[in-house]
Structure 1
């Protein structure tokens, strides 16, 4: 019976040893698997941290661009403000330009209207003549005459021949102090060789309004003597005053 028991104990010991070896192998394999898992986790964590750092760097760089660009935009706005101010100043100066525009007549003279005689007891010494030349004694030559030269005594009142507005007051070498009255519709009356003019540019005048007084003649009319230079125009062209005088 003792001989029969020995093999059983030996076999039992071998079984136990096999189990121990199996357990050891499993432990080694488990240890290797855990270590491999940990290494993999560390590797993945390292990748994640690296990616986060890169994203943080990119995010920081973008933020810096925004900070730099923002003051530039504000600076551009500040630099553009003076331009807006200049435009406003230009608008404020416009009334001055409007004030300097030529005076426009509100009257409506026509070819059917008549005019008054500009001076009392006046005598025409050189009549209107644009179709043929007439002789000018002072100049000693023949030339066209766009006006009526009316003789009168110095100091005689010169009156407006019709209603209108004073367009200009000029001084020329040929006709001296000269007043131009706009009668409307392109018609103008021009009075030369005046002095002591009481009206001003822009004044409204009625028929018989005193525009001034006859002055001594200029050197271009010294032989003709004291006279009124009276001219009428339509759209800037001379016309015959006789066509508008009543009988």
Structure 2
């Protein structure tokens, strides 16, 4: 038997090496097969379907807006308070109102009216023998009879008129002026004097050349803002 192994090519060492190689090849093939074994497939978990949230319908259509007050900045310590200056307003200064005395009127002379007031119709003037308007009234009286101021006022003129003779003009409140003509000269007042109602200013005369035919009388006329007015309406105040 030993002779048979010797007769084979390579001898016993050859076969031992061959067995070793086969063993190594078998182990390597085993591990190679193990690496190629497919791993079991991992099943993915089914996706959980999320339920859609139901719409909220109970909320109010619009929420009320709330006003927020702005935060005031803290004042710096030690800061001085500034005085608040108020805007200056112009105050209208009203002039003091002086109460005017009521217009007291008295008749300047008691007597008969021999020529009436007439600015709409012409009256016959016997002295000048013509027809003309008459801006006052002629009151007949004895020469030297007292003539009184019809109302309180200031004497603004004392004249010797060519046609109306000695004349006194007094200014009154309310735009009135009174005129006293055909007086004796001189009258007892002068321009600038202040008179009261019923104060003596002169006497009846015959100085009016334009009314000489009517004898002694007082020619009395009144104007309002420069326009002649009926003395009778003025005396009724």
Band of TM-score, shorter chain? 0.5 to 0.7
Match of 1:183 in 2: 172
Q: Is the 8 A contact 2:152 2:196 kept in 1?
A: yes
The alpha carbon displacement at 1:244 in A equals 2.1
Q: Is the 8 A contact 1:109 1:185 kept in 2?
A: no
1:151 to 136, 140, 143: 140
Structure 1 stretches of at least 4 aligned residues deviating more than 3 Å after TM superposition: 106-110
Cross-structure match for 2:234: 244
CA contact 1:147–1:229 (8 Å) conserved in 2: yes
Paired residue for 2:189? 199
SS in 1 for 2:172: strand
CA distance in 2, matches of 1:235, 1:108: 18
State how 1:75-90 maps to structure 2 within 5 Å. none
**TM-score with structure 1 length normalisation?**
0.52
Q: Which secondary structure state, in structure 2, belongs to the residue aligned with residue 244 of structure 1?
A: helix
Contact 1:109 1:183 in 2 (8 A): no
- TM-score after normalising by structure 2: 0.54
Alignment size in residue pairs: 139
Higher-Rg structure is: 2
Provide closer, same or farther for how the CA distance between residues 240 and 233 of structure 1 changes in structure 2, counting only shifts above 3 A.
same
Match of 1:227 among 210, 217, 227: 217
RMSD of the alignment, in Å?
Answer: 2.2
Report the 3-state secondary structure (helix = DSSP H, G, I; strand = E; otherwise coil) of the residue aligned with 2:236.
coil
